[in-house]
């Protein structure tokens, strides 16, 4: 088998070099050129590898920077989630507190409504009593005017029979307006209560000798005085109850609106907290959050109604 000339020369020159024989100069130059070419190729490959190595190092540095940035973002996301959780629990506590306050205000509102209804009932009873006494007083005045005109039309009978007739008619009229029980209970109590007045003190001293018609008139006076005293405080209490009921209704509306806002805020914070566990973009979200202070609930005043006697 014949070898190519170049290969044959190369083998021959290699054997000569190994034996210490002299190698032709042309062969050495060819070998030097071949080595230079190989060296250039290796240098080119080395530069290429160095360039690629630099690119890889830059990519590694970029990846490290990105990883560090992601770690910071993740840390901020965790801190944000913890903050949202704390705010969520605080809002839940406020919500429970406001719910308890709403229940308490509702109970107080019901109590005020009950007191208002009681005041209205007592006012109605007092007005009815005043109306009855006014009617009785009007009837008595009309009858007195009637008897007065009648006495003016007819000559005055100065005898004991005429006076006794007038006295009998007056006693019957007063007895129809006031019962005996009311006379005993109200007239004497009225005189004892106003004993510092000279007139009342005088009537009280001669109580056993007072005429029936005088006792009846004193009883009617006591009832009229009692109704006049009862009317004003009942009216004041009714107006006060209406004003406090309106104020309580407005405060309940404010609490309802605040409760709705807190519920919306709790729902929004819950959504943010649930989404923050699975994303790293929490830092791009808005940091502004509204916090609602607890309302300083004004203490509702208790109504104190005077116990008025049903005399």
Burial class (CB in 10 A: 0-12, 13-18, 19+), 85: middle
Q: What confidence score (pLDDT) does residue 307 get?
A: 40
Write the pLDDT tens digit of every residue in 225-281: 777 777 777 778 777 777 777 787 787 778 878 777 877 777 776 766 566 554 544
- Quickly list DSSP for 212-261: HHHHHHHHHHHHHHHHHHHHHHHHHHHHHHHHHHHHHHHHHHHHHHHHHH
CA-to-CA separations, 216 to 5, 129, 143, 156, 175, in angstroms, rounded: 166, 17, 16, 25, 7
Please compute, for residue 12, the number of CA atoms within 13 A of its CA located in the half-sphere on the CB side.
10
Q: Is the pLDDT of residue 7 over 80?
A: no
Computed over every residue of the chain, the mean pLDDT equals 73
pLDDT tens for residues 47-89? Answer: 999 999 999 999 999 999 999 999 999 999 999 999 999 999 9
- CA–CA separation, 303 vs 311, rounded Å? 24
Question: How many percent of the chain have pLDDT more than 90?
Answer: 17
Residue 311 has pLDDT above 50, yes or no: no
pLDDT at 143: 75
Tokens of 171: 């006693």
What burial class does residue 58 get, using C-beta atoms within 10 Å of its C-beta: 0-12 exposed, 13-18 middle, 19+ buried? exposed
pLDDT of residue 89: 93
46 confidence band (pLDDT: 50, 70, 90): very high
Our CA angle for 87, 92, 97, nearest 5°, is 125
Longest distance between any two alpha carbons in the chain, whole Å: 195
Q: Whole-model pTM above 0.75?
A: no
What's the whole-number mean pLDDT along residues 5-27?
A: 66
Could you tell me the pLDDT band of residue 23, with boundaries at 50, 70 and 90? low
Q: Are 109 and 249 in contact (CB under 8 A)?
A: yes
Q: Residues 115-149: pLDDT tens digits? A: 888 888 888 888 888 888 888 878 877 877 776 77
pLDDT in the model for residue 16 = 65
Q: Select from 75, 73, 84, 79 the least CA-distant residue to 274.
A: 84
167 or 186, which is more confident? 186
């Amino acid at each position: 088998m014949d070898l190519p000339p170049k290969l044959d020369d190369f083998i021959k020159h290699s054997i000569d070099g190994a034996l210490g024989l002299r190698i032709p100069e042309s062969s050495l130059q060819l070998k030097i050129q071949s080595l230079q070419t190989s060296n250039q190729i290796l240098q080119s490959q080395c530069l290429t590898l160095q360039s690629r190595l630099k690119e890889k190092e830059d990519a590694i540095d970029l990846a490290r920077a990105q990883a560090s940035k992601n770690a910071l973002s993740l840390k901020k996301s965790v801190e944000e989630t913890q903050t949202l959780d704390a705010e969520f629990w605080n809002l839940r506590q406020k919500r429970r507190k406001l719910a308890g306050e709403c229940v308490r205000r509702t109970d107080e509102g019901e109590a005020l409504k009950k007191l208002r209804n009681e005041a209205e009932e007592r006012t109605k009873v007092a007005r009815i009593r005043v109306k009855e006494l006014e009617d009785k007083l009007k009837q008595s005045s009309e009858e007195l005017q009637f008897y007065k005109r009648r006495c003016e039309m007819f000559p005055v009978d100065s005898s004991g029979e005429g006076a006794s007739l007038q006295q009998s008619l007056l006693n019957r009229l007063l007895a129809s307006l006031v019962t005996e029980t009311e006379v005993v209970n109200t007239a004497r109590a009225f005189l004892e209560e106003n004993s510092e007045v000279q007139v009342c003190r005088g009537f009280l001293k001669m109580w056993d000798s007072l005429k029936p018609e005088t006792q009846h008139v004193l009883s009617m006076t006591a009832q009229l005085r009692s109704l006049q005293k009862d009317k004003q405080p009942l009216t004041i209490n009714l107006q006060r109850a209406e004003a406090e009921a309106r104020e309580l209704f407005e405060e309940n509306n404010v609490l309802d609106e605040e409760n709705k806002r807190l519920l919306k805020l709790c729902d929004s914070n819950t959504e943010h907290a649930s989404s923050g566990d699975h994303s790293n973009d929490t830092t791009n979200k808005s940091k502004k959050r509204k916090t609602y202070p607890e309302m300083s609930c004004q203490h509702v005043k208790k109504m104190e109604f005077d116990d008025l006697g049903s005399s």
